[in-house]
Amino acid sequence: MTDICLFPIPDCVTFPGTLFPLHVFEPRYRTMMYRALEERLPVAICHVEKQLSPSKPDQTLEEALNSNQATYRPQAVFSAGLCELKEITNDGRMYLNVHMQERYRAVEEKQTLPYMVWACEPFLDQPASADEHQQNLQLQEKILVRFHALAHRYPELQSTFPEEHLRSMSPEAFSFRLFGAISFGSELQQEILEMDSAHQRLTEALSLLNQV
């Protein structure tokens, strides 16, 4: 089991192998980040199941810096990784990068307030057979061909998602990196995150890209 600090953000699904830039201003999450940095605890950026309590409307920046905002129930499967502190502003806000390293499933809540810490287990793919691995390589190539065609229509994709880099990835890493760069909506992204095989994710990716 791994203790992980949870940072729930509505409509935000993160994938292993990606980097998530984070701006932290709430007092409880600033405290959480200082602990995560000091103890080298992973931090999860996760989508939410529901809102438990709303934030106060029409707050000034000073009020937001001195009060906690909305509270959420997080999804049970998420990506997490170690934080890299980039800047602390004069008023105490923190800018960090969270390097998403692995998927986890929440097992046991160890701390609720002022922020959540859960004991988590890795959420791993089912092993792929030799035949399935070859199918995954073929799916990866088909996706790259489709992506190349889309890049002519949407040039910004090429800079966000360089094709040369993608070709060097394993199908497993590629299947995460793809959905980390191109979003199809938070609910579908969460479903994809919870798929336990690269073959499932690649098949879904090709189907979605063919609809664009």
Taking only the tens place, the pLDDT of each residue in 81-118 is 999 999 999 999 999 999 999 999 999 999 988 999 99
How far, in Å, CA of 105 to CA of 119, rounded?
Answer: 9
Taking only the tens place, the pLDDT of each residue in 136-152 is 999 999 998 887 777 77
- Please give the pLDDT value at position 63: 44
* Torsion of the alpha carbons at 69, 74, 79 and 81, rounded to the nearest 10: 40
| pTM of this structure | 0.84
* Average pLDDT by stretches of 10, the chain with 212 residues: 94 94 92 96 89 51 47 88 96 95 96 92 93 93 84 66 71 89 88 95 91 77
Q: Are 208 and 192 in contact (CB under 8 A)?
A: no
The CATH classification number of 2-122 equals 2.30.130.40
All structural domains of the chain with their residue ranges: 2-122, 130-210
Please work out, in degrees rounded to the nearest 5, the angle formed at the alpha carbon of residue 95 by the alpha carbons of 94 and 96: 115
Q: Are 123 and 187 in contact (CB under 8 A)?
A: no
Q: Which tokens sit at 120?
A: 């988590």
